[in-house]
Structure 1
Amino acid sequence: MQKRKLGRTGLEVSPIAIGGAAFAYVHRTQGWDPMTDDGRKVVHATLNAALDRGINYIDTSPVYGNGYSETLIGEVMKTRRKDCVLASKVWYELDHKGVIDSVHESLKRFQTDHIDIMQIHGRMYTAAEVEHILKGGPLDALLELREAGKIGHIGITAEEPWTVIPFLAHEAIEVYQVAYNFIYQGAARHFLIEAAKVNAGVVSMRTMTSGILQREASHLAPEWQAARDLYEVSLKFVHADSRVHSGIVGMRWPEEVEQNVRLLEGWQPPVDFATMPRLTIEVYKTDDAM
């Protein structure tokens, strides 16, 4: 797959990232149980299939299954570490020591001596939480770990993108993982504009809308899915925005890897959604200029 530069990190990443959350949770209606021996083997096969097909960005967290996702990924890292950009997280409420300990535990589970991107893991941030992260220990701990060569780059995650805008002023925080998808486009009105100004690395979470678009459309307009695969629409939406460098997708089976790779292979976005109007008056002006 054609790689993209992840903002100012200099890292080359695939436009699809494989998300590790799915490796920690059972979904029996779909026949998915990564806790079994057979399920564990499927996870290994999925990760190897992704790496073989050029998906080189793997993102997870110790929160997923209390370290289980990291452990499964680590079993593949024993032989494939050089093939990927590995990203994980530390919980935002931890203090300085807690962050140091968490990263060392992740290193053990991954069976590696370094993690390429270590992200502060949160949902949305109050002013007090921003202050804690910047001055209460987490950022200082990550800077120490970076200096020691244990991590390569520092990032942060947020469900609500506007709450990470204050962090853009801090050069040390280079990668931002935010919720941005076909039905949740708020980041386009503020965060993505500001992130582009400082050449921040941007990764989308909820890339496929966590299945919400597909589920709701099945009730309101079931014919949509028959006319056009809504998962394909969701994937291509994120990749049509030049400000997003990679989109995280939960893939459980090797065939899902193959399906997603094929959707983007050779595909060129018909428009850059970074240039699309987001307000009524902007739509009018764009239409009238044509």
Structure 2
Amino acid sequence: MEYVKLGWSGLKVSKIAFGAMSIGDPNLQSHGSSSWVAGRDQALKVLKRAWDLGINFIDTANVYSRGRSEEIVGELVKGMREDVVIATKVFGQMGNGPNARGLSRKHIMWQVRESLRRLNTGYIDLYQIHRFDYDTPIEETLSTLTDLVHQGLVRYIGASSMWTWQFAKMIYTAEMKGYEKFVSMQNVYNLLYREEEREMIPFCKAHGIGIIPWSPTAAGILSGKYYKDGKIIVPETETRVRPGSGDYRIYVEPPENAEILRRVIEVANNKGATPTQIAYAWLLHKGVTAPIIGTTKPEHVEEAVNAISIKLTDDEVKYLEEPYKPKPVLHIPPPPM
């Protein structure tokens, strides 16, 4: 395993991060079907294999299986807390009341303590805002996150999918008012969805912010298992995203995506690798800090870790990227009506 600094910080993380949305309780996971969520016993087996292979960076969220994911991560790290980098998130709905979501001081202070309890730890290494909150002043969110760092409950703060102008506004507000600065951006980025290259990724690189992309294999499409006769065909029973979100369709329907996948498979065959490993190798070639992998199988963790040693040439990268066409921007909630 190789370790790199997370953005401008001194925090060292593995070049592969384990995404814990795929572990928890299949009956509590709200995103898509329950078939891709591992329960406790299998989850601990996969997490243990990740740890044995040198992955020290685990990313979860309070909303994953309604907190059960955090509880399982807490079981894993017991007795070795200082060696593990735990990242979790706040924003999503965690109750029925009007203050049970968002980035208000009330909600953040409530949820950070709930996450600490579930994780069975005294602090969180990376506390991330899951989305931008249109209903809460930026200063309120930033001052609350800064207080958490000063109280020792959080070590670093990060953010996830939003418009670049929103992230820029938060960063510049933090600089002007002396609030804690963000060290990372967790955004969706893969060979089939590259819209973050428009603004977010250049902005993050210019400001020394670590990039830890999620969905590096485009919900499993880049594994190649859905490619047949020049088309991407996914059984309806295996749809891995929330119905109606559009994510699944934007990976499958554009005709150029099938050509990109064909080239991924071709390059993988030429290099004695798997298509999934080429997807990871491409991201690492693009300079991201650590792709976040989500899986329920130990062998998939091994596959991801082995991808670190695969180096793509500039010509191979150009060949993989060439068919891409711009797509609508995803995963950014609209402002309230």
TM-score (ref. length: structure 1)? 0.81
User: 2:300 maps to what in 1?
Assistant: 256
Preserved contact between residue 161 and residue 186 of structure 1 (Cα < 8 Å) = no
With 13-22 and 161-170 compared, the bigger mean Cα shift is at 161-170
Partner residue of 1:112 out of 115, 121, 133: 121
| Aligned pairs (5 A) from 1:150-169 | 150-158=153-161, 163-169=166-172
Unaligned runs of 5+ in 2: 28-32, 93-101, 176-180, 233-260, 269-273, 324-337
One-letter code of the match for 1:267? I
Equivalent-residue separation in structure 2 for 1:134 and 1:30 (angstroms): 35
SS of 1:9's equivalent? Answer: coil
Alignment of 1:22 with 2:22, yes or no, is yes
SS of the residue 1:268 aligns to: coil
Q: Distance in 2 between matches of 1:45 and 1:19?
A: 14
Superposition pairs for residues 53-202 of structure 1, below 5 Å?
53-91=53-91, 93-122=102-131, 125=132, 129=133, 132=136, 134-135=138-139, 137-158=140-161, 163-169=166-172, 170-171=174-175, 172-202=181-211
Q: Determine helix, strand or coil for the equivalent of 2:304.
A: helix
C-alpha deviations, 1:215-269, integer Å up to 9, x for none?
A: 7644634793864333222111111112x101100021222211211222x3334
Q: Percent identity?
A: 28
- The answer on 1:240 being equivalent to 2:250 is no
TM-superposed deviation, 1:210: 1.2
- Residues 187-239 of structure 1: CA deviation (Å, up to 9, x unaligned): 12211111111111211111111124447644634793864333222111111
* Deviation readout 1:161-187 (Å, 9 max, x if unpaired): 665343343351221111111111111
State the number of aligned residues: 267
Give the counterpart letter for 1:88 in structure 2. T
1:272 CA displacement: 10
Deviations 1:39-69 (A, max 9, x none): x222112111111111111000010011010
Alignment partners' CA distance in 2, 1:11 and 1:116? 9
Letter in structure 1 aligned against 2:10: G
Code of the aligned partner of 1:158: S
Question: Counterpart amino acid of 2:285?
Answer: A
What SS does the aligned partner of 1:204 have?
coil
- Give the aligned CA root-mean-square deviation in angstroms: 3.2
Q: SS of the counterpart of 1:7?
A: coil
Amino acid at match of 1:138: T
